[in-house]
Amino acid sequence: MTTHRHTQEISGSPAGDDKLQGLLVKLDEATTLLAEARAFTKPTKLPRVLDTARRVLMQEGGAAEVEARSQALEEAGIFTGSDWETPQYLLPSLTTHALKSADPNMVVIESLSELRLVAVAKGEYLHPLISAEQAHHYLTQVLALNLWLLFSTPSEAERETQGRLAQIPRNLFRHLADRIGYEHIIDKLIEEIWRILQQRPIQVDSVKQMITQIAICQADPSIDLGLSGQGADRLVSSLFGPTQACREDPGVEIYRERLSSMDSSALQSEATGFARAMHDTGLASAYHPVLLRHLLDHGDHLVAEALGLSSTGRDCLLCYRELVHALIRGAVHPATPQSVYGLALMLERGILYQPPVAPAMWRQLGLSLSEWSKARIELAYGNEVSPRARLLEGVLCMLGLPLGVGQGNNPTCQSARALSMWAYNDPDYLLQMVAWAARDDEIIMHFEGMPLSSMASLEGVAKELPVDLDPVSLLVVPHLDRIYAEMGRRCIGRDGDPHRWVNPEFHGWWSGRGFRINVDVATGQLHDLDAFLRHFYASYHPYYNGNQPLIHPQPAGIAVTDSAARFIGWHAITVLRVTLDPSDVMRIYFYNPNNDSGQDWGDGIKVSTAGNGERFGEASLPFEQFASRLYIFHYDPLERGELNKITLEELDRVIGYIHRSWGSDRIPPTELQADQGPAQA
């Protein structure tokens, strides 16, 4: 095991080294005690490990030593029962808070988790839940979000709250940068930011933070970034100075003054500049709302220009002029710049032409929020603008970017998928849900004729109320989650998988009532693969279904695997389109409520998010690769395709993928048994 010591520091001297070695002996002792402890006494052994680790991390070279022990530490159980136990769900944006905490244990456990992921990213620790690539992505984002830790000494505030503890995150980050690679770190960050932005998420706060960090480093003369960071200009300018009149980031007030003295050609050029920056990146600057509000008095031509609308969007704007103006007044503020982007894309989608949508938007404009809803929004977003404006921004963004919905750090993929599906396919229904949740604190859905109230069933899939969500999800998901869980409870005791009944009732009538699953619920073994795949091909593959493009988005379940093709868990997604990609490969385009769709599922299956004909927010895979990770789908039994036309070779290729990945330990003892009759469980 190599240790990375910083030669520029004298404290790597023998004395310091002795001290580190002494502490490491103590750390190993404490770790062994924890590892050998029974589950029920682990909590009592944990403080000693954390405290000793803290002292090790304070030492020069301590981070490297802890990294080398990270697998042993994790196996001993330091993360057991905490959020860090499931690294695949960790959110990079939460690290900043944890590392700034005054609680030593918080700082230490966060650092231990980071160091463990370095070992994973370097391939030295094969982790059962997270792949090397995921770990690498995560760490790059963590570095990006916390660049200040690399380049600054502790501030007065940090010293006040953390004392000597403030040294730990700095030691940690120097080590991370060493391991992940110092010189290109900024470039990798920029790449990472673009990769995320290409998926056009609704929530861009963490992306904005990363860009801000880069901007701060670029502006600081004491930081030498060398040649790196060139590609950040578009990102930084889109946030802080997209146009001529705000190039030097003068502040909102000064910009407003400048606008008042501009003629229409100057305004025109401002409008074009903003629109270009916004559509390039998916990010809107805080100056953009200032301009847009100013332009309300200067004609719709300029408004359309500032939104960057095509002829479709412009038509929609002109048709619903009053409504759009009201939406701008109500939702577009310097504190809610993404509302501009949401509005622009919503107009482009033309959904206002569906009769119920415009009136529903008027209701949304005047909606009075319950005290609970207001409090939840203020808790999550502060009170810079009114909760109603914040929610309106969220509504515009969700309707403009239905595939940008993310589940955050919560096990609520089903609810996120439903919201996305409604925004995509049934926008007025979504608006109805928002009104019920935000105004009435209650949603009632029906399951097989029985009304289910979100207030009556107390427990959802998620045990805690989420806060890391967009405004619409923030208010609606807790209700949906409880209803979803209740629908599941109503299916207890039925033979087979509950999704068969729950999905159509929960998501909408268009979810096919035909249902296939390739896993035997009772045994977990693969079941009837051949028929499962034939039905899938015959329903979804244009070559076998009479060249019928998919009509409605369909819920489906996938077996997620990591980059080593090991099974990670079941996950809900939406199948959106099936069509030939630019290189004539039949592809499935789908929506993944997970916050980042770009994933490596192993065995050569890499989910693509751009470059293969994807629209913003879509993920895609070649048809057979997708089929190999599918375990549940719905279809319309009356629209059956040609089951027999599908060649055995094609199916064998898919089955090969399954057997090499999540199905490897689910192959039933003999195929005969698996073929006997319908599902028994």
Partner 1 sequence: MNKDTNKGYIALLGWSLSAIEAAENFDRRYVVVAPDWAEEYCTKHDIPYVPWNFERLNDRSMEIAETLNEMGVDVAIPLFEETVEWAGAINSLLMDKPRLYGQSLLLRDKALMKRRAQLGGIRVGIFEEAHDKGDVIRFLKRVNQTLLKLDGDPNDPIHLKAFDKAGCLGHRVIRTPDEVDTIPDEEFPVLMESHLDGWEFAVEAWIHNGKIAFLNISEYVTLGYSVFVPASPELESYRPQITAQIEKLIKAFDIDFGLIHPEYFVTSDGEMYFGEVAYRPPGFKVFELLERVYGFNAYQASMLVFDPKTTPDEVKAFFPREVEDAKCYAGCFGVYPRRRVVSRLEIPEEVEDDPYFESHELTPPMEETVTKRTAFGTHWGLIYFKGDEAARMKELLKNMEELDFYV
Residue 555's beta-bridge partner residues?
A: 574
Q: CB–CB of 577/589 below 8 Å?
A: yes
Q: Provide the minimum distance between the beta carbon of 52 and partner 1 in the complex, in angstroms, as a whole number.
A: 6
Q: CB–CB of 109/74 below 8 Å?
A: no
**In the numeric block, which tokens belong to residue 585?**
């490969």
User: Which DSSP string do the residues of 155-215 spell out, in sequence order?
Assistant: PHHHHHHHGGGGHHHHHHHHHHHHHH-STTHHHHHHHHHHHHHTT--S--HHHHHHHHHHH
Residue 557's beta-bridge partner residues?
A: 572, 632
Instruction: Give the residue carrying structure tokens 């760490």.
Output: 139
Reduce the DSSP state of residue 577 to 3 states and report it.
Answer: strand
Q: Provide the minimum distance between the beta carbon of 11 and partner 1 in the complex, in angstroms, as a whole number.
A: 13
Query: Judged by CB, which is closer to partner 1: 103, or 652?
Result: 103
Q: Provide the minimum distance between the beta carbon of 108 and partner 1 in the complex, in angstroms, as a whole number.
A: 13
Q: Provide the minimum distance between the beta carbon of 50 and partner 1 in the complex, in angstroms, as a whole number.
A: 10
**In the numeric block, which tokens belong to residue 629?**
């990770």
Q: How far is 525 from 546, CA to CA, in rounded Å?
A: 32
Query: Judged by CB, which is closer to partner 1: 3, or 161?
Result: 161
First to last CA, the chain: 50
Query: Judged by CB, which is closer to partner 1: 52, or 409?
Result: 52
Q: Which of 307, 305, 294, 282 is nearest to 195 (CA)?
A: 282
Q: Provide the minimum distance between the beta carbon of 72 and partner 1 in the complex, in angstroms, as a whole number.
A: 18
Q: Burial, 642: exposed, middle or buried (Cβ in 10 Å; 0-12, 13-18, 19+)? A: middle
Query: Judged by CB, which is closer to partner 1: 9, or 18?
Result: 18
Q: Provide the minimum distance between the beta carbon of 170 and partner 1 in the complex, in angstroms, as a whole number.
A: 18
Query: Judged by CB, which is closer to partner 1: 41, or 244?
Result: 41
Query: Judged by CB, which is closer to partner 1: 37, or 91?
Result: 37
Q: Which of 591, 282, 557 is nearest to 406 (CA)?
A: 591
Q: Provide the minimum distance between the beta carbon of 22 and partner 1 in the complex, in angstroms, as a whole number.
A: 6
Residue 445's beta-bridge partner residues?
A: 452
Q: Provide the minimum distance between the beta carbon of 129 and partner 1 in the complex, in angstroms, as a whole number.
A: 24
User: Which DSSP string do the residues of 16-64 spell out, in sequence order?
Assistant: HHHHHHHHHHHHHHHHHHHHHS-GGGHHHHHHHHHHHHHHHHHSTTHHH
Tell me the torsion sign for CA atoms 242, 287, 378, 386: negative
Query: Judged by CB, which is closer to partner 1: 24, or 190?
Result: 24
Residue 368 DSSP label:
P
Q: Which residues bind partner 1 (CB under 8 A)?
A: 19, 22, 26, 30, 37-41, 44, 47-48, 51-52, 55, 102-103, 163-164
Q: Provide the minimum distance between the beta carbon of 60 and partner 1 in the complex, in angstroms, as a whole number.
A: 14
Q: Which of 526, 454, 451, 447 is nearest to 492 (CA)?
A: 447
Query: Judged by CB, which is closer to partner 1: 168, or 245?
Result: 168
Query: Judged by CB, which is closer to partner 1: 40, or 509?
Result: 40
Instruction: Give the residue carrying structure tokens 């600054």.
Output: 152
Counting DSSP H helices and E strands in the chain, the numbers are 31, 10
Q: What are the distances in angstroms from CA 304 to CA 61, 266, 364?
A: 57, 15, 22
Query: Judged by CB, which is closer to partner 1: 123, or 163?
Result: 163
Q: Which of 523, 449, 521 is nearest to 487 (CA)?
A: 449
Q: Provide the minimum distance between the beta carbon of 10 and partner 1 in the complex, in angstroms, as a whole number.
A: 17
Query: Judged by CB, which is closer to partner 1: 45, or 500?
Result: 45
Instruction: Give the residue carrying structure tokens 């805080």.
Output: 286
**In the numeric block, which tokens belong to residue 351?**
């959904």
Q: Which of 133, 95, 180, 144 is nearest to 596 (CA)?
A: 133
Query: Judged by CB, which is closer to partner 1: 104, or 668?
Result: 104
Query: Judged by CB, which is closer to partner 1: 16, or 508?
Result: 16
